[in-house]
Amino acid sequence: MSRIVFIVFLFLCTCPLLQAQDVSLPEPVKSGGMPLMEALSKRQTIRAYADRAIGQQTLSNLLWAAYGFNRADKRVVPSAQNRQEIDLYAVLKEGIYFYDAKANKLLLKAKGDYRKDTGGQDFVAGAPLNLVYVANLDRASGHDAACVDCGFISQNVYLFCASEGLATVVRGGINKAGMHKILQLTAHQEVLLAQTVGYPK
């Protein structure tokens, strides 16, 4: 029995999304990982990515570490006046997904490969995952607060990647107008940053 559980676990770890539709993510694993001081020692920006997809389990763990809930209505990151005004989108080969942290789901927003639309740097189109951070300014306590809140999420991604041997780079270099259009955002929503994630080359 434990062998079957292990095989299913391995499959979930390595299986990419495969379908362009809403995806229920596996429950994030909230234990283990590298000791914090070691992860801080390894935290760095990496800009060369292997052509290798991120498995569903790792994706779920990553998204939870970035912006999941660790209490009933509060998250792993602080947020000015607890406005939680940042929305996180995952741009994958299969499509663009909104991360619904409460439901632990990826909700399909646009079908197709939009990775190259998230930025002009040469590694962007081939890396398996680009996160896009969007501020809801009518929910935020201010623009500065939204930028600070976004920084916490990005740093969590950096530390998760350091712990898991993944590569990442946060990017101000993002086609903000283009992504605004593709994501069909309103005038009160602003694309703040992108963050590329994958396996190091």
Ligand X SMILES: Cc1cc2nc3c(=O)[nH]c(=O)nc-3n(C[C@H](O)[C@H](O)[C@H](O)COP(=O)(O)O)c2cc1C
Number of amino acids touching ligand X (CB under 6 A): 9
Angle CA 117–119–125, to nearest 5: 65
Measured from the CB atom, is 21 or 44 closer to ligand X? 44
CA 30 to chain centre: 16
- Provide the angle, in degrees to the nearest 10, between the axes of the packed helices 56-67 and 143-164: 140
Q: How far apart are CA 11 and CA 31, in angstroms?
A: 19
| By CB under 6 A, residue 47 contacts ligand X | yes
Structure tokens at 70: 């660790």
Supply φ then ψ for residue 99, to 5 degrees: -85, 110
Question: Looking at beta carbons only, is 121 or 141 nearer to ligand X?
Answer: 121
44 lines the binding site for ligand X (CB under 6 A): yes
Contact segment (CB under 6 A) with ligand X among 23-31, 70-78, 94-102, 170-178 equals 170-178
Burial of 2 (0-12, 13-18, 19+ CB in 10 A): exposed
Among 33, 126, 173, 200, binds ligand X (CB under 6 A): 173
Name which position in 53, 169, 185, 197 contacts ligand X (CB under 6 A): 169
From 9-17, 19-27, 42-50, 93-101, give the range in contact with ligand X by CB under 6 A.
Answer: 42-50
Query: Using the 8-state DSSP alphabet, how is residue 80 labeled?
Result: G
171 belongs to the binding site for ligand X (CB under 6 A):
yes
Residues near 51 by beta carbon (within 8 Å), at least 6 away in sequence:
126
41 binds ligand X (CB under 6 A): no
Residue 136 and residue 196: Cα distance in Å, rounded? 21
Q: Which of 19, 24, 41, 45 binds ligand X (CB under 6 A)?
A: 45
For ligand X, the nearest residue by Cβ is 173
Residue with tokens 């201010």: 142
Residues 113-142 that bind ligand X (CB under 6 A): 121
User: Is 172 a residue that touches ligand X (CB under 6 A)?
Assistant: yes
User: Considering the complex, what minimum distance in angstroms separates the CB of residue 171 from ligand X?
Assistant: 4
CB-CB neighbours of 24 under 10 Å: 12
Q: Which stretch binds ligand X (CB under 6 A): 79-87, 126-134, 135-143, 164-172?
A: 164-172
Contact positions vs ligand X (CB under 6 A) = 44-45, 47, 121, 169-173
